[in-house]
Amino acid sequence: MVNERINGKIRYKSDKVESGVEDTWNLALAALSKNVGDCEDYALAKYAALHQAGTPDADLRIVLVRDNAVRQDHAVLAVRHDKQWLILDNRWNTLYRDQELKQFKPLFVVEKHGVSLLSKMFRLSDFNIIAPRPR
């Protein structure tokens, strides 16, 4: 219900269009009061709604992913329910188990106690790679 209601309440609008900056995180209530926001605004609003409804903090995570299907970074809310993690995404109302979303590569997890880096993006040019010398 939370996923569907917030997906229906907020109209997608990128931070670049809304505020002129590439990416900014706003309080969940800001997106709900303006009725516009981007993916992390949806995730924050869902987090706040479920937290207020009594879902324990240990069962809520904002996950920043690389969506390989559309080649974009994206934010979703993960909620633990019946010993499995369900993904609440602003692009669809259906809930999916985290294992079903093979196109997602988790990068960061944001939770009550902080941010965890799961995967570091890198370029080969960032490293000094020394090829073996021919013999």
Q: Are 50 and 2 in contact (CB under 8 A)?
A: yes
Find the helix or strand (DSSP H, E) in which 96 lies.
strand 92-97
Kindly list the domain boundaries of the chain, sorted by start residue. 2-118
Report d(CA 74, CA 126) in Å as an integer. Answer: 24
Contacts of 47 (CB under 8 A, 6+ apart): 28, 60, 62, 77
Residue range 57-98, pLDDT digits in tens: 999 999 999 999 999 899 999 999 999 999 999 999 999 999
Residues 2-118, CATH architecture: Roll (3.10)
Looking at the whole model, is its pTM more than 0.85?
no
